[in-house]
Amino acid sequence: MKKAVCFTCLFLWAGMSSGQNCVATIAESTPADRFILNGDEVIDTRTQLIWKRCSLGQSGNNCETGSAGTYTWQQALEAAYTDPADPGPQWRLPNLKELQSIFEQSCSDPAVNLSVFPNTVSGWYWSASGSARNGGDAWAMNFNFGTTSHLPKNRSDFHVRLVRNTYYQ
């Protein structure tokens, strides 16, 4: 009997992990109407931040080209760096609070609004926020369930989503 129960649990778990799971009874924290899609950018009307729609390494209308790369924290900072003398957009690694602002509380696997940020990996994403507890750590967010933790900066298996500030003229 125990084997049958365990087999059933394994079957249900495997079925649940095959795609995004959203709970309709939990209010959306990042409804699509909060964002303005503008090519490969997303304007967040609440935070006034502009996000890259795709994770670093992906491109296309639905982020279907390429794959989300993985980086150490230093590599992520360098990948986000743009020359201040360049008149183009100045992309950067978001701080932890900014990264948490796109977390979708009603969904998991990934915990993000997929109509806004398609093909997002259910995994860890770096933030620019270093850990005050340990200088060798930085904060990251796991978009599987929206958990955060400070983890070693030399880990090379975390993803990156770039952001920039909105400038009004």
33-74 pLDDT, tens digit per residue, is 999 999 999 999 999 999 999 999 999 999 999 999 999 999
Distance, CA of 67 to CA of 163 (rounded, Å): 18
Two tokens at 154? 């030399």
pLDDT class for 167, splitting at 50, 70, 90? low
- Is the Cβ–Cβ distance between 127 and 96 less than 8 Å? yes
Q: What percent of the chain has pLDDT over 70?
A: 85
Query: For the chain, which domains are there?
Result: 22-165 (3.10.100)
More confidently predicted of 103 and 88: 103
Return all residues near 54 (Cβ < 8 A) that are at least 6 apart: 40, 60, 63, 68, 117, 118, 119
- Residue 111's pLDDT is 98
